[in-house]
Amino acid sequence: MSAGRVPAAPGTPLPLVLAGARGHGRWHLENIRRLQQAGRVRLVGVCELEPLTGAELEGLGEPAQSADFAGLLDATGAAVAVICTPIPTHADLAITAAARGVHLLLEKPPAPSYADFERITDAVDAAGVACQVGFQSLGSHAVPAVRALIAEGVIGEPMGVGAAGAWARDEAYYRRAPWAGRRRMNGADVVDGVLTNPLAHAVATALAIDGSVRAEDVERVDTELFRANAIESDDTSFVGISTAHGGRVGVAATLCAERPDEPYVIAHGSRGRITLWYKQDRVLVQRAGHGPEEVLHERTDLLENLVDHLAGRADLLVPPVSTGAFMKVVEAVRLAPDPRPLPVEAWRSVPGEHEGVRRRIVHGIDGLVAASADTLCGYAELGAFWALPDTPPGPAAASPGARTAAADPSASRSRTAETPPR
């Protein structure tokens, strides 16, 4: 069991503060309500710029409310803080909580840069508090089940892991917050791209299936970053990851899908494949000499796991060290040249989910994303005209059109001079 604040009496609900209760924070609020009704936690504080209403807090008592996170932790004596605030604020808030002995559930991505990630891990280690990173897919029992099947040789010799994410987000998505779709803001890193935020689970789950979760497990990251939308960050991208054990992980993702579908990860083998739809905890095994086998798995809630960990009943499922490889990918995206805008002939505009709002679709992107997961190739190698380089790549290039960032987070930054429209 970790050091830090815990109730004196075993079995007492853990006092908890939620920082960021709107947007995605509403999901956390509902989860806290569920666990409070089960007697596992007690919401004692909410940190929001605008206080929650009585209707939003129904069934949760009357927690203290303040925009002052540090003051709220001091006044409430909270043992746990759930941080679901804008990405650039994660590091400072996590360090503030750790300094007070408060345990953490930190929403993904844990930080916008590897340097900020190290600040968080240093603070957590120094304080001796527990920190769970909010990759809910890594609480799925499907992940260790797939790893076990691979280790048993069910699909033969491992040949790489691919992931595909084809989602759709309209223009309102990029207006939801000042930092949405930004790479940096007011001099601070944000890195709110398709691979680092909305489809970050695809990256983290693919790395977990490959068995490469620590920072030292990543040797090289090649990036292809593009944007169809009038944003600063990427909305259609690919990363190719070379791992320390000689593995290959490829992740293709877009927020400009023609027909949005469930994201998935494929473990390729010499005699078959295993597909995991990680939001559904659904696994399909296809191998030579056998019919297809499909299994639905259970999932452990990460906040519940944190509570069990603090009671000495469980190990943390997603401690910061197990997200180091993901953060190497974030760092590679951060250091890569700014995303290339797609030419107008590569996309079209259609009505979005909200009245009067449009969304952009990249022609043929659904098929490209699926083909990438099948082949571990990037968009350029698959022949997408908009991904081909302007000039022939040099001999050091890993594949046509790839932008490469060394696994060393201290690699120098290279950017294009083009400035995206606001």
Confidence of residue 354 (pLDDT cuts 50, 70, 90): confident
Tens-digit pLDDT profile for residues 154-198: 999 999 999 999 999 999 999 999 999 999 999 999 999 999 999
> Mean pLDDT across the stretch 376-380?
98
pLDDT at position 9, please? 73
Tens-digit pLDDT profile for residues 51-95: 999 999 999 999 999 999 999 999 999 999 999 999 999 999 999
DSSP 8-state assignment for residue 213: -
Strand 293-296 with 282-287, pairing:
antiparallel
Task: Specify whether the backbone of 377 is left (phi greater than 0), alpha (psi in -120 to 50) or beta.
Answer: beta
Question: In the chain, what are the domains?
Answer: 14-129 (3.40.50.720), 141-298+319-406 (3.30.360.10)
Which range among 115-124, 302-311, 395-404 shows the weakest confidence by mean pLDDT? Answer: 395-404
Torsions phi, psi of 196, nearest 5? -100, -15
- Cβ contact 103:306 at 8 Å: yes
CA 121 → CA 6, 130, 324, 327, distances in Å? 20, 10, 10, 12
* DSSP string covering 116-183: HHHHHHHHHHHHT--EEE--GGGGBTHHHHHHHHHHTTTTSSEEEEEEEEE-B--GGGGGSSTTTT-S
Confidence of residue 1 (pLDDT cuts 50, 70, 90): low
How far apart are the C-alpha atoms of 305 and 249, rounded to whole Å?
A: 28
Identify the three-state secondary structure at position 103: strand
Per-residue pLDDT for 419 more than 60? Answer: no
Q: Which residues contact 43 (CB under 8 A, 6 or more apart)?
A: 16, 17, 18, 32, 33, 36, 60, 61, 63
DSSP 8-state assignment for residue 216: G
Q: Which tokens is 182 given?
A: 């930004």
Number of Cβ within a 10 Å radius of residue 417: 6
